[in-house]
């Protein structure tokens, strides 16, 4: 029974981060458009948060478990996280989901017959437009393919949540709802929830151009992160079942997230800020600094 309760708590933590993605659509309840300047800054914020969470949370914890010896398992996990994301993106690059970014009501400068492919080079504007239109049109086959793409990009965050709960119930945790919750778990849940907001905004922007209803944009944003609670439960079960592989789990989550920041978040920010003065570098750096400054102190509360 205790295991079931723990699984429920981990799933709820993952669900909280998924629901936080819906916050990215909320600005469109009060404004018609969202400036590129703020969008770039938010991607920088998300990047700073994820790098901080990986370096000062996951990697630091993995090194602690490997105290007294070379962290072979953790390094292996780091490499495995990078390889998984790269291989998954390469595989998805061969998939044509047959979604057209041109919409009858949306003038985005594309030909209406332009087909969008899953892009192995990163989770860029075309990917977000593809996800947005697949959800807007509700085509089941396309939604299944898009969910596979979303899983690649959301699963590492879910794994990070799951491994951060590895010491759930042990002494020294923070009492929450009758559970002794590790500080790292609280830190990772907060960090990934904040990180998900610009993800939700990114998928909402093309849906706004399609005149999709505001509440449907919220639902679509949440849908894009649904693999996270599943990944959290799977990772939690694995590390509780095989404690000796915990450093590998920490390394895997950290490697995948840092790689996603380097190959997807930062390029997304720079692409968004291409028309800004200085190509958006100032906004990106400001967001990075804010994300790091906000997260690092939480690890030493």
What are the DSSP calls for 13-29, one per residue? Answer: HHHHHHHHHGGGGGGGG
d(CA 96, CA 190): 35
**Token pair 């070379």 in the structure block, residue:** 70
Residues 6+ apart with CB under 8 A from 177: 9
Ranking 5-14, 39-48, 168-177 by mean pLDDT, the lowest is 168-177
Between 31 and 78, the more confident residue is 78
Between 301 and 62, the more confident residue is 62
DSSP state for residue 181 in the 8-state scheme = E
Q: What are phi and psi of 242, to 5 degrees?
A: -130, 75
Overall domain count for the chain? 1
pLDDT at 114 over 60: no
Write down the mean pLDDT value for the chain.
Answer: 78
Residues 6+ apart with CB under 8 A from 140: none
Q: In what helix (H) or strand (E) does residue 265 lie, and over which residues does it extend? A: none
pLDDT at 130 over 70: no
Q: 3-class SS at 116?
A: strand
250, 236 Cβ separation under 8 angstroms: no
pLDDT at 120 over 60: no
pLDDT for position 105: 44
Q: In what helix (H) or strand (E) does residue 97 lie, and over which residues does it extend? A: strand 96-100
Give the pair of three-digit tokens for residue 102: 């041109």
Alpha-carbon distance values, 87 to 107, 170, 224 (Å): 34, 36, 20
Residues 6+ apart with CB under 8 A from 169: 2, 6, 179, 180
pLDDT tens by residue, 142-174: 666 666 666 666 788 888 999 999 888 777 778
Q: What is the pTM of this model?
A: 0.77
pLDDT tens by residue, 181-227: 888 898 889 889 988 888 888 778 777 777 778 888 888 888 878 88
pLDDT for position 195: 84
Q: How confident is the model at residue 19 (pLDDT cuts 50, 70, 90)?
A: very high
pLDDT at 113 over 60: no
Q: What are phi and psi of 251, to 5 degrees?
A: -65, -40
Domain hosting 272: range is 2-300
Within 10 angstroms of residue 115's Cβ, the number of other Cβ atoms is: 13
Q: 3-class SS at 275?
A: coil
d(CA 277, CA 266): 17
């Amino acid at each position: 029974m205790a295991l079931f309760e723990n699984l429920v708590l981990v799933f709820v933590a993952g669900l909280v981060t998924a629901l936080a993605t819906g916050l990215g659509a909320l600005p469109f309840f009060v404004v018609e458009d969202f400036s590129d300047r703020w969008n770039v800054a938010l991607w920088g914020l998300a990047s700073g948060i994820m790098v901080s969470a990986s370096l000062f949370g996951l990697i630091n914890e993995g090194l602690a478990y490997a105290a007294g010896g070379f962290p072979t398992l953790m390094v292996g996990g780091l490499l495995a996280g990078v390889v998984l994301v790269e291989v998954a993106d390469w595989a998805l690059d061969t998939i044509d989901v047959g979604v057209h970014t041109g919409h009858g009501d949306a003038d985005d400068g594309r030909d209406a017959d332009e087909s969008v492919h899953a892009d192995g080079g990163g989770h860029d504007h075309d990917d977000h437009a593809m996800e947005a239109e697949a959800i807007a049109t509700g085509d089941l086959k396309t939604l299944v393919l898009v969910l596979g793409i979303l899983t690649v990009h959301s699963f590492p965050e879910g794994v990070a949540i799951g491994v951060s709960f590895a010491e759930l119930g042990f002494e020294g945790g923070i009492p929450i709802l009758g559970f002794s919750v590790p500080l790292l778990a609280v830190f990772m849940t907060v960090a990934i929830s904040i990180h998900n907001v610009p993800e939700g905004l990114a998928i909402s922007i093309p849906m706004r151009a399609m005149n999709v209803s505001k509440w449907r944009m919220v639902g679509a944003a949440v849908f894009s992160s649904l693999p996270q609670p599943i990944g959290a439960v799977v990772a939690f079960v694995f590390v509780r079942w095989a404690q000796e592989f915990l450093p590998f789990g920490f390394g895997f989550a950290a490697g995948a997230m840092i790689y996603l920041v380097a190959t997807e978040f930062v390029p997304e920010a720079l692409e968004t800020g291409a028309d800004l003065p200085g190509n958006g570098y100032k906004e990106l750096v400001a967001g990075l600094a804010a994300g790091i400054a906000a997260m690092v102190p939480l690890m030493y509360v």
